Amino acid sequence: MPRSGCRVGALAFFSLCLDSAVAAAPAAGAATSMPAGSIVQALVGLAAVLALVAALAWLLKRYSGLRGTGTGLIRVIGGAPVGQRERIVLVEVGSTWLLVGVAPGQVRALHTMPKSESATLPEAPQAADPGFASRLRRMLEKTQS
């Protein structure tokens, strides 16, 4: 029955902590005050930690080297999401281009083609929808004239 001994020990420890917390608590009528300087110091410390986390995230994103910056034998040319967790990626391996499907737990070669020096990747087609800003501008111009 070692579990019952642990329970008794845990209850004894809890009651000891509770007794010390009650003894350290101020009386009901006593006012507790926290200096404004300590609050400001805590807020400045929190802001410094958040700024450090943001700076590290930016550095990791900036210098991760995952987006086509490879100079070795394998280089990622580009990629596009095709689902929530699936992507297709164009990879250059030596003088060959591989179109690879990437999903959680799977990587499959979809197509292989030789890399030609004169071949350029096609430009992404312009979206048929010009966007909210241009539609708003046209509507405003119509209402003003």
Helix (H) or strand (E) holding 24: helix 2-24
Average pLDDT across each block of 10 residues of the chain; the chain has 145 residues. List them in order: 58 68 58 75 93 91 61 81 90 88 91 73 56 80 78
Per-residue model confidence (pLDDT) at position 36: 77
Residues 81 and 57 in one domain: no
Q: Answer whether residue 15 is part of any domain.
A: no
Distance CA 90, CA 76 (A): 6
Per-residue model confidence (pLDDT) at position 1: 46
Per-residue model confidence (pLDDT) at position 56: 92
Neighbours of 90 (CB within 10 A): 19
Nearest partner of 92 among 76, 108, 79, 103, judged by Cα = 76
Q: Answer whether residue 3 is part of any domain.
A: no
Per-residue model confidence (pLDDT) at position 51: 94
Side chain identity, residue 105: G
| Total domains present in the chain | 2
Distance CA 64, CA 74 (A): 16
Residues 99 and 78 in one domain: yes
Residues 53 and 78 in one domain: no
Question: Containing domain of residue 45, as a range?
Answer: 39-63
Which residue do the tokens 């800003």 mark? 133
Side chain identity, residue 26: P
